[in-house]
A and B are shown apart, each in its own frame.
Chain A
């Protein structure tokens, strides 16, 4: 049994995007959306039978220790942190940027940020790996967005309407224990796939709309509605 995140991602067909060759390197404004903002993240690594892929990732405690030492300017700890996490984060950058040269550029910026922001990591608020992956995702997404239109004319904030869950879609998704998986099951299968695909692939609204064959504003309404339903479920 595969976990729903992976199955959904595999079914979305989002794998062959050509993100182009432009090498614009957006001068990243250093706002740290994560500083103190990640709350209550659970450590999803090294626990449970479904996470064999990340079995080689160091323990949460060890990673936290390396981040803490990095915050104190310990370069050897930073080097160890790189050694232990660079494969995972390179995987993130590659998946989103879909270009090795750009992914390497992203990695450089990601670890510079990690070095500079290590002090903002709060053990207990976020898992170390979740914090690191978020930095890699943000960097990669910012890089691809910088090559796309900087703004999109959306209609005014789409109305959020309730919609009954689709029992078939719920049954189609496998049963797993985690909250996000359970809540994704309450969405229509295609909507859940859009959420997972957007997260994992770093898709833009325009790309999601194109893939789903719907207008941009319809796509946004779908996704925002899905997010509201997810949030309601997650808060239960």
Chain B
């Protein structure tokens, strides 16, 4: 059985990997802001330049998705349960898909990252400190692209395509029967929370009202200029924990 690496070995492993590891890019923004479109365009562009790219979507881990889906459907989740199950999904994806891909030098595009949970759950009334704690140790993205739009525009775009789901519309906290009316009120709070987070976590903003190609050009520029946030400073604990779990001993 391989021995657990010592703290010194872990620090060395991380330092050696800093240059060759992949970039973690998070796409954030209200529903209907065009994150998925831009993520797909960026993926295609990066792949055309011979980058290995992995995408990861919100609430998508094979382990958690089925149980989350059932419980959302029957609307039995309390605010805490909703939040904690998303934290389970996030942690599992970080450990089983995001970190392994980054370690292997692949670029990871996250269609929503933990900021989605922070904004939505804080909008539901949960304490931000507790939320950050539940999601810790944090794996900081190298770049957070925030697709900014007003709550009214988000509501309009959603209304033109579909009725929002119960939890997406925040009906569990607004108590409003009409999904769209509830969404209108809920997204207002979510956008406010996003604005607060954007300062702390240094989001780079893209205007979601711009033409798609213009946004894509801007995203390309941002990615080309993006620099790695050193793991040893920002994400040491998260990476070390994963290295121990994954039994990674060296290159």
Partners in one complex: no
**Measuring CB to CB, which residues of chain B are less than 8 angstroms from any residue of chain A?**
none
